[in-house]
Structure 1
């Protein structure tokens, strides 16, 4: 009888818990915003065993999910390639099967994946993680998918995959990365257009890292009307246009969508950049870390259906940066020396006015600038500036390409073009030489079926300008987008200010098999050939 009373009390308390949870979820659905968290996460270094690395990452994933800071969140997004490794690939359930790995007796799912599901179920929130996935590949399974590519000798495909858990720890979403910059994983024959819906009334689309540079799946989902996105990345920043947060804000602003971007944190290796962005409002919270960290960043995000009536004040914007970035390795745009560029010459006294039409081939941009000199002498440790225009192809180390056009003002460490796309190192004391009082850039960009025209800016803390500091306007006629980009708030720490247009021209669509990967990787440390469907 005592045992029965204890069981009855437990059942009653559990019922109260479920009722309370349901009430909280109903309240969340009725609110005009949702609370999102993105994780800047430093993966464990490759020392010790592969299992040690996995457990190191997993322990802190679960600690973040259970943390007091995370308690207010509706959804948490983790970055790319910061959890498991190719020695511990896992099978994944199909979202349509509505499986809760925590409750599953199947041996298909690795222990770390079940633990994550249990942690999510315990805190009852949506969580997006990126895992290295394995899938059995047979001639029959390839035929069922209308995929003509052969299977690898070991009978496995491997994918770089985003997985979504709902509040019950159930897998409700999956996206396999299509535009892959590495040779570690397979890609799907065609890009997956993956979305998931939440009980707080928001439908999310998913894409991963390098996908942001291509039309499918990211822009295709935008064109289908998706307004909120989760984005996991292991992003290598590149000057002058493609550093992490800089690109996040540009993409979210141009598409006027909400973007939850979680980045891997290895600044000295070149990767960092996380943030939450609300369309034309810009970054709500963002970080470019100077040193590796494992940290959750949180913001309230206005639902797209409420965006006209609810505004987030720019004073509530949180930028987690140092004034001068010291610890981040930065790449340089490989075509910079092909740009049409011209050094901005400044007067020794008073105001310098620049009015210049600059062209690259038939593509031209009009620049109107006002600058004042603030340093009495020219310092070797001050940034010089070039006007630049370009129209051409952009290749990504042989993995894919797009066409792009831009008009921009950008910083250089010297007067020559080969000094552009670089910054002074962290030990250098910088002496600003000029202040930009006004910049107006205008250009006519040809219309195309697949194009995204973005405002692009960057200051010396590797952050874009807040959206209340500039104006970006596009007027259309039958053949052209007439674009104006301007700001009139004085700045002495600009690195980049320009109009950047991506003309999407295909994607990766590489014909790759696991067997070819083994050759290309030289039977590397990951020893993929030793994996089996049971591993």
Structure 2
């Protein structure tokens, strides 16, 4: 009898614990991203002392602190800050070194703010930890990690260390809960190494499951697609330093399309530098943008705060699966195996504007190599057809309707609609299950481009060929 009593009480205790956990789970949460105009080093080719490096980083963290406090004041549960947001870019291996810290594996269960002397000197980790802890908010930041190695490792660089472009996440207690080393380095990131294997970094909260990767990672299968498709995280955290590349790879355009195509929440924090065409941050849901920012006129940073569903896949409005090649039997223009079909009606076509329908099926080889299948309707820069495909930011022609589809060989297709002024079109288009991207109504602004941006990951070259600087 005594044994059964204990068993019953034990079961009750377990039920109570589970009930308490269930009660803590949130159906929605408040997300924040901050687009930061980074204070840069005067010359990234000249080495500086650790003290000088820390002074620059503290100037940037002081600006991030204002944004973090304001996000917390508005009730945000989590805030994402940009890639390179603490020290900038264009360093050499030698000149980035004073900015790096040795970031431990989160399994060590460490709150730097509460236990600052536990590991090697880590002033940046400590500061970020305290910002999270003192404001009761998850903080996502990008910084540099260093790991010593020696000749027993045949891949050890000649200077005896690995250097990684790294995202860190601190929970609302200031504990380090995630560390991610960027796997797909951009071609200019010669100061960093890529890790031997892609890291599929996730963590769970009371407001959903999260995955994290950085900038150019979004263009490749690992780790981005694995996190969204196989591990089925609810939200992707995405620090980036994205240079806008029209017609199809502007930040707000492609990142919102990726969120829709993969069916996840997506928190994108970009750096802000008008000279380098860097702007465009957003908080995106599977059914469209919740908040976004794109501004080439102002030099200051910008904070976005809005509410998201914690588990979008459980929503009755979650988009249905799409067969991307079902409809496109009316073949209008083809390249190799990809044929693109377009139906459209313009409200009133301006005489000095030309639009074209384009198809591309092949290996993209500029600033990285990856295999694309793209169907696009886009505005040409001028009435000269040779200008079609060059960057365009303004248009005058509205569309009464459009329907774009293609005979895609991949299921990874990202729908893009971009309006004049590089603006998104939330709620004005939808993807049908037969693979058509259609307008719901007459476009509220003139159209720059409509595209189905497909990625055929299986046809990519090996990772070492595509990602290594």
Residue correspondence of structure 1 range 202-281 to structure 2 within 5 A = 202-224=208-230, 225-280=232-287
Q: How does 1:90-489 map to 2 (within 5 A)?
A: 90-102=101-113, 103-106=115-118, 108-140=120-152, 142=153, 148-149=154-155, 151-181=156-186, 182-198=189-205, 200-224=206-230, 225-280=232-287, 282-290=288-296, 291-304=298-311, 307-308=314-315, 357-373=332-348, 378-379=351-352, 383-397=353-367, 399=368, 401-422=369-390, 432=396, 434-446=397-409, 448=410, 451-466=411-426, 468-475=427-434, 483-489=435-441
More displaced 10-residue stretch of structure 1: 175-184 or 410-419: 410-419
**SS of equivalent residue, structure 1 residue 113:** helix
Q: CA RMSD in A?
A: 2.7
Q: Which residue of 2 aligns with 1:22?
A: none
Aligned to 1:521: none
2:92 counterpart residue number: none
Are 1:41 and 2:11 an aligned pair?
no
What are the ranges of 5 or more consecutive residues in structure 2 without an aligned counterpart?
1-19, 44-51, 89-95, 319-329
| Cα deviation 1:464-490 (Å, max 9, x = unaligned) | 321x21121244xxxxxxx21111522
Q: What TM-score do you get using the length of structure 1 for normalisation?
A: 0.72
- 1:82 correspondence with 2:85: yes
Q: Runs of 5+ in structure 1 lacking a partner?
A: 1-24, 143-147, 312-354, 476-482, 518-535
Change (3 A) 1:258 1:131: same
Aligned equivalent of 2:442: 490
2 CA distance for matches of 1:471 and 1:438? 12
Contact in 1 for aligned 2:379/2:395 (Cα 8 Å): no
- CA–CA distance in 2 between the matches of 1:453 and 1:424? 23
| Equivalent pairs, count | 416
Distance 1:507 1:164 in 2: 31
Matched, 1:501 2:454: yes
Residues 179 and 508 in structure 1, CA contact (< 8 A), matched pair in contact too: no
**Closer/same/farther in 2, CA of residues 372 and 460 from structure 1, 3 Å limit:** closer
SS in 1 for 2:127: helix
Per the alignment, in what secondary structure is the counterpart of residue 196 of structure 2? coil
Shift of 1:209: 0.3
Contact 2:26 2:207 in 1 (8 A): no
Displacement of 1:396: 3.6
TM-score (norm 2): 0.82
Report the Cα offset of residue 90 of structure 1. 0.6
What SS does the aligned partner of 2:185 have? coil
Whether the aligned pair in 2 keeps the contact of 1:88 and 1:110 (CA below 8 Å) is no
CA contact (8 A) 1:187 1:510 kept: no
Maintained 8 Å contact 1:302/1:310: no
Describe the superposition over 1:154-205 as per-residue Cα deviations: whole angstroms up to 9, x where unpaired. 321110001011122111111100000121200101101101112x241101
| Match of residue 3 from structure 1 | none
CA distance in 1 between counterparts of 2:379 and 2:42 reads: 39
CA contact (8 A) 1:231 1:259 kept: yes
Distance 2:73 2:428 in 1: 31
Matches of 2:391 and 2:26, distance apart in 1: 44
Contact kept in structure 1, 2:38 and 2:87, CA below 8 Å: no
SS in 1 for 2:103: coil
Q: Is the 8 A contact 1:189 1:509 kept in 2?
A: no
Q: Distance in 2 between matches of 1:473 and 1:255?
A: 15
| 1:392 counterpart SS class | strand
Secondary structure at the aligned position of 2:169 is classed as: strand
